[in-house]
Structure 1
């Protein structure tokens, strides 16, 4: 047996944050094998609470469909290094199978038999955490069942089939055929990931939120409108809110000339309907219910009116229509705000969005937050051209990584950074094909 010296104990402590005596005891039992000792600490719940509370902003989503039941699980980890590991990915798939088998909520899943036959799922995850030396836990699970319909699924940023950082399930019933239902359900899952709806129909929007939106719209217009005009403006604002948040009323991202309802009718027949949907994103602090609460409290961009003349205006330049967001307009805080902005621009027939640097999220830079990549990727996914307008000379002087990021982004052309609107205008004028999906001239 190797000698359990200070170096081994220190290495195990740095990896697990466990106490000195606990580290020494498990090292003795494990014969000096640090990996085995870490597993013993995890299995015996000897890790300190601080280690268990370490942030888990990374991880992986997995969907699994068996017959007419679909499941999504989120297995959370501390780093993307772990989430990219094949062992971690296989474990996530095994856990998704457990959720489908037991039709279980989170607590039921944790109490279910382990995929490896050793104890329960909770113990299985503890052993997985010990293997990687990270705080790993099953963040949440979702089940979507249908009696007679078809479930479609989509995983975005997928390292392997069924795995991704954004996953959606959509159930469709009443279609003309199973083939039609399968195809449209899968396409609708793609749409749900991109457009982030909150409800399937307008009737599902809680009355409290509808009333809150009416009050908010009224406050925005009451000082300069007659009563009949105010009622009309409030109704327009509420209908726009539905167009942004209700699945059937959203512009269908795969065919923007149609709504989702129209696309469903065309693809699957007049009797087809969407039963339900689920959409998760890795690292979300809040799931569907919390997002609904945020919408009601105007903490989300649903309280921002990107199409109003005060925060934005349209400028026509040849065949291009530029949607200019005002320097005092709404702030672009996350990828869902990006979807709202895209919808507002599309509704005005815009071909280009001009967004001032001042309206970016306060943590858009530095790049270590990953917010810049996440938000800008949304514009690329939807084929929407956007120009970030403003002076970034101070930030560029401080960060070579930012200089490289902007250089690469400008080369791709879907999203560009320009000094001012005049520079954007010149770039658009130089373009030989103003409707191409990039800014290259």
Structure 2
């Protein structure tokens, strides 16, 4: 199949590989972008990239906390301009608080709930689309809660109070003083925003993600020319390293760049004279996993003139 310049450009942006390497990768994988990324990684020509870290939609992430429970909600819009609109910000803030107060199970349930100013949230959203003149949508929500302890929120790149491009919640269970847990929670939330863990621990990592990593590792290891049994050991070593680097509790704490997060929590509990366990977290990055079409305006104009 023909390899387009646009596909090569996107692959280069995602992997940092050279143009000719990108063209070859696309040719080898029949134009499959994801397979081409893996092809380049297996050849050592691209760094591993978490697909969901590619922010490709606008809007806001809202977070709300009440003691031992919290919620994060993502609401998308077409442009960043709308995310700065007071009407849109008020809507996201109200929706997030409603999700927390009423413990909305999912987006469908949240949409059907009453909006504070009247009507349902779904009806208010429809009205916003009409008055602001841009499509908007409720995308996702997630709750965290503890029976004893605290839930701490953090917003990175805040657009307004409790609203921004990255929203984080940290759930700490235990009987340590709440002020000590809050201080720890804030640091952990900043780590989560920066380090992008994929799960709380290795057991929670997505099996499809692990299988994809295993395939890349196996192809790399096979090129070493070593016996099959050695190749398999190399593969398993790579997977253990991947799990360690992507599970929150085993990640190296960004604040000191040397201590595993689990040890940071344990040390904080000892200092506070009580128990503290990191039991759950949420990290919502605006638009993660959504691919936004990019139009070539100059090409569109040229096409229009030529038609």
Whether these two folds match at TM > 0.5 is yes
Structure 2: gaps of 5 or more residues: 1-55, 297-307
| Residue 86 of structure 2: aligned partner | 86
Deviations 1:171-228 (Å, cap 9, x if unpaired)?
0112632222111112111111111111111122355654554454333223522456
Q: Distance in 2 between matches of 1:137 and 1:208?
A: 28
1:115 paired with 2:116, answer yes
Q: 1:122-161 residue pairs with structure 2 within 5 A?
A: 122-161=122-161
| Residue 32 of structure 2: aligned partner | none
Q: Distance in 2 between matches of 1:92 and 1:129?
A: 13
| Residue 239 of structure 2: aligned partner | 238
Q: 1:276-295 residue pairs with structure 2 within 5 A?
A: 276-285=280-289
- Displacement of 1:271 in angstroms is 4.3
Conserved in 2, the CA contact under 8 Å of 1:175 and 1:181? no
- Displacement of 1:249 in angstroms is 1.1
Q: Distance in 2 between matches of 1:130 and 1:86?
A: 15
- Displacement of 1:88 in angstroms is 1.7
- Displacement of 1:148 in angstroms is 1.5
Where 1:285 maps in the other structure, the secondary structure is coil
Q: Compared with structure 1, are the counterparts of its residues 75 and 262 closer, same or farther at alpha carbon in structure 2 (3 Å cutoff)?
A: same
Q: Structure 1: which 4+ aligned runs deviate by more than 3 Å? A: 206-216, 226-232
- Displacement of 1:272 in angstroms is 2.5
- Displacement of 1:264 in angstroms is 1.2
| Residue 262 of structure 1: aligned partner | 263
Q: Distance in 1 between matches of 2:209 and 2:158?
A: 35
| Residue 166 of structure 1: aligned partner | 166
Q: Distance in 1 between matches of 2:205 and 2:101?
A: 32
Q: Compared with structure 1, are the counterparts of its residues 121 and 184 closer, same or farther at alpha carbon in structure 2 (3 Å cutoff)?
A: same
Conserved in 2, the CA contact under 8 Å of 1:115 and 1:124? no
Q: TM-score, normalised by structure 1?
A: 0.49
Conserved in 2, the CA contact under 8 Å of 1:58 and 1:282? yes
Deviations 1:241-286 (Å, cap 9, x if unpaired)?
0122100111111221211112111122384322111111112235
| Residue 179 of structure 2: aligned partner | 179
Q: Distance in 1 between matches of 2:235 and 2:268?
A: 34
Where 1:124 maps in the other structure, the secondary structure is helix
Conserved in 2, the CA contact under 8 Å of 1:75 and 1:137? yes
Q: Distance in 2 between matches of 1:67 and 1:233?
A: 46
Q: Compared with structure 1, are the counterparts of its residues 128 and 211 closer, same or farther at alpha carbon in structure 2 (3 Å cutoff)?
A: closer
Q: Distance in 1 between matches of 2:181 and 2:239?
A: 31
- Displacement of 1:112 in angstroms is 0.5
Q: Distance in 1 between matches of 2:137 and 2:208?
A: 35
Q: Distance in 2 between matches of 1:110 and 1:210?
A: 34
Where 1:171 maps in the other structure, the secondary structure is strand
Where 1:115 maps in the other structure, the secondary structure is coil
Conserved in 1, the CA contact under 8 Å of 2:148 and 2:175? no
- How many residue pairs match? The answer is 232
Q: Distance in 1 between matches of 2:276 and 2:237?
A: 28
Give the CA RMSD over aligned residues: 2.3
Q: Distance in 1 between matches of 2:181 and 2:281?
A: 14
Structure 1: gaps of 5 or more residues: 1-55, 287-362, 367-441
| Residue 254 of structure 2: aligned partner | 253
